[in-house]
Structure 1
Amino acid sequence: MDDVLIIGGSFAGLAGALQLGRARRKVTVLDTGLPRNRFAHHSHGLLGHDHKPPLDILAEARQQLARYPTIRLVNARAESVSGAIDDFNVLTGDGQNFGARRLILSYGVADQMPDVPGFAESWGTSIVPCPYCDGFEVAGQHWGLLWSGPQSHNQARLFLDWTDKLTVFADGHDIRPDIQADLARRKIPVVDGRITEIAHHKGHIATVNLDTGRNDAVDILFAHPRNKPSASLHESLGLATVDTPVGIALKVDERRQTSMPGIYAAGDLTTPFLPSVTQASSQGAMAGIFAQQSMLV
């Protein structure tokens, strides 16, 4: 039996495994090899790895983990979880069984692309969610913001730190008059109409096309599509969740423990509205440390 079994081997999961391996705890990481940011050409803001392809960073991390004899990386998808603290059992899609005293859930989320031609093809190239991840590289260029709700107001104000050329696409949303007035005061135009197509060339936006017949050219479009957890294990376990502007997230306490004793969570699964490699790595490390400390006798 493992001390800890980690479900999800991207930045949060591997960071947790590193802490546990260094504590000489026996840990297995189950991973499908489909991280959320696999569509991004570069990852930004991670100290020591700025502007590196995220898949290259993960490959290097796995190589570094190989020197710890108590860490095992397994390419498999967890299909079910049963048991309780000190005696969890995980069954994978290929029929393997794993037992562990503690679990860390770090299987992340999957973004749900809207049914707009060209959107999915441009995702990660010229349609992105995070200014801290990609804003510096396109600072001063013409940005677009796809309105998704009241939270978009703060995003519009935030973006002005990177550019003074910002267009808001209402996309059928009713924007409150006071917010519209504030956007006008900031000289941020609001374009009405629903987006019908993202005209692009190999993922690079040419124009944002609207059902009003208007076509607007932007250099980059910031959007926050809905997302959902990449697996449903939390549902079968009955773990508590919280609603966020883009979907549900697992509820964790200050020690990153979920509502079920012995199960911890980290990464986008707990904060899907703040996609950040730095944050995921930090949360994963803390989940590993707290899981280790919970086993002290």
Structure 2
Amino acid sequence: MQYDVIVIGGSYAGMAATLQLIRARRTVLVIDAGERRNRFASHSHGFLGQDGVAPGEIVANARRQLEAYPTLTWLEGRAEAVTGQLDEFTVTTSNGGSHRARRILVATGVADQLPAVDGLAERWGKSVFHCPYCHGYELDQGRIGILGASQISIHQAELLTDWGDVTLLVNGAAELSQEARSALERRGVTIEDATIDRIDGHADVAMADGRLLRFTGLFAATRSSPASPFAEAMGCALEETPMGMQIRTDAENKTSVAGVFACGDVARAPHSVSLAVGNGAMAGVHIHRSLLWPEPVASTQVEGRNR
């Protein structure tokens, strides 16, 4: 069969878009590899109505609600290639399946490139975070360490002073002008210029000079990029943001390829569950309207592969 829409990525943004489409009685296939960006976190915060709920529980409940609609098909798997053009796309999956659709929505999310600090990856989402609005409150105004990753770390250190006693661990990752140092000091930020050796315990930072700095929690400004490369392979233009690369979209969630839309973290910054859900819901509305009132466009043939 030919679906109205194939949604690639069944996390928060993809599901929010899907809900709008199936409530409009459109046929939707969701292809999901089950790799949510916040899968490492035990609880989700800052999402109205779901504050403090485990991410896996939020996703499972949302999927149950979607599956109550008869026009939804959910496929657990990975999209491997997208080919075709407006109204005639084909998506092949890792199990060799082939599926056709009039529209494509890319909602794969992003992958985080973590700072190269020993012990960080094992604590990501548990005691090392990236979003103060999602995790700052639970630190109860304790000692917060900012792991230097880029110039964004300076902004992150200033911002987090509303959540606790902040130390910026520069670690050679950012250049601090005297003006930046003065601004940080005015905000009460302690600046630590020594090199980090590793992270131990819950959130203890072992310095190269032998000192051990203990923190309630740590934050790191990661750099992100689309979790799967097939959007770029299809010809979707990317753009650089302070947080990394994302798919370029317009106000209607359209990419540079006719009939291909994108939403959530892969297409919008800043990133959070709430913002992904809102953007996904709007993407669903825009896709539905494109099916009702298609715009005349030049034919665009798409070829691409995803690992």
Bucket of the pairwise TM-score, normalised by the shorter protein = over 0.9
Give the distance between the partners of 2:35 and 2:266, measured in 1 at CA: 14
Looking at structure 2, the residues matched to 184 and 280 of structure 1 have their Cα atoms a distance apart, in angstroms, of: 34
How far did 1:219 drift? 0.8
The answer on whether the counterparts of 2:42 and 2:126 sit within 8 Å (CA) in structure 1 is yes
Question: How far apart are 1:239 and its partner, in Å?
Answer: 1.1
Residues of 1 paired with 2:8 and 2:45: CA distance? 25
SS at match of 2:108: coil
Q: Does 1:296 align with 2:296?
A: no
1:83 alignment partner in structure 2:
84
Which residue of structure 2 aligns with residue 95 of structure 1? Answer: 96
Hey, which bits of structure 1, 4+ residues long, moved more than 4 A?
Answer: none
What fraction of aligned residue pairs are identical, expressed as a percent? 42
The residue identity in structure 2 corresponding to 1:170 is V
SS at match of 1:144: strand
Deviations 1:261-297 (A, max 9, x none): 11111111113x5221101111111111100100114
**Hey, what does 1:137 align to over in structure 2?**
138
Mind listing any 5+ residue stretches in structure 1 that lack a counterpart? none
Distance apart, 1:150 and its partner CA: 2.8
Residue 148 of structure 1, CA deviation: 2.6
The one-letter code of the counterpart of 1:278 is S
Deviates more, 1:85-94 or 1:212-221: 212-221
Aligned mates of 1:55, 1:112 — CA distance in 2: 23
* 2:262 paired residue among 261, 265, 274: 265
- Number of aligned pairs? 291
Q: TM-score, normalised by structure 2?
A: 0.91
- C-alpha contact 2:87 2:101 (8 A) present in aligned 1: yes
Corresponding residue number in structure 2 for 1:10? 11
**Aligned partner letter, 1:217:** R
SS of equivalent residue, structure 1 residue 221: strand
Within the candidate set 213, 216, 236, 1:216 is matched to 213
- C-alpha deviation, 1:138, in angstroms: 1.1
2-structure distance, mates of 1:295, 1:285: 16
Q: Secondary structure of 1:36's match?
A: coil
Q: How far did residue 65 of structure 1 move?
A: 0.7
Q: 2-side partners of 1:112 and 1:148: how far apart?
A: 10
Equivalent of residue 276 in structure 2, options 273, 277, 280: 280
Which sits farther off after the overlay, 56-65 or 222-231?
A: 222-231
Aligned pair 1:175/2:182, yes or no?
no
Equivalent in the alignment of 1:147: 148
Amino acid at match of 2:197: T
Q: Is 1:62–2:71 an aligned residue pair?
A: no
Residue in structure 2 matched with residue 245 of structure 1 by the alignment = 242
The 5-angstrom pairing of residues 18-167 of structure 1 reads 18-163=19-164, 165-167=165-167
120-129 vs 143-152, which moves further: 143-152
How has the CA–CA distance of structure 1 residues 116 and 157 changed in structure 2, closer, same or farther, with 3 Å as cutoff? closer
Letter of the 1:233 partner, please give it: F
**Following TM superposition, by how much is the alpha carbon of 1:256 offset from its aligned partner in structure 2, in angstroms?**
0.7
Q: TM-score, normalised by structure 1?
A: 0.94
Q: Deviations over 1:43-90 (max 9, x none)?
A: 011111110000110000010111100011100100011111111110
Return 37-46 or 113-122, whichever deviates more.
Answer: 113-122
Distance 1:74 1:114, change over 3 A: same
Contact 2:261 2:287 in 1 (8 A): yes
Displacement of 1:34 in angstroms is 1.2
Alpha-carbon shift at residue 240 of structure 1 (Å): 1.0
Show CA shifts across 1:130-159 (max 9, x none). Answer: 011011111311111122333333322221
The one-letter code sitting in structure 2 at the alignment partner of 1:237 is M
Distance 1:237 1:250 in 2: 11
Q: CA RMSD in A?
A: 1.3
Q: Distance in 1 between matches of 2:114 and 2:105?
A: 27
117-126 or 23-32: bigger deviation: 117-126
Range moving further from structure 2, 118-127 or 228-237 = 228-237
Q: Which moved more, 1:221-230 or 1:64-73?
A: 221-230
Q: Secondary structure at the match of 2:62?
A: helix
Could you say what secondary structure the match of 1:94 adopts? Answer: coil
Mapping of residues 191-230 of structure 1, within 5 Å: 191-200=192-201, 204-205=202-203, 207-230=204-227
Q: Is residue 153–residue 220 contact of structure 2 (8 Å, CA) maintained in 1?
A: no
Separation in 2, partners of 1:41, 1:186 = 31
Alpha carbons 2:226, 2:247 under 8 Å: kept? no
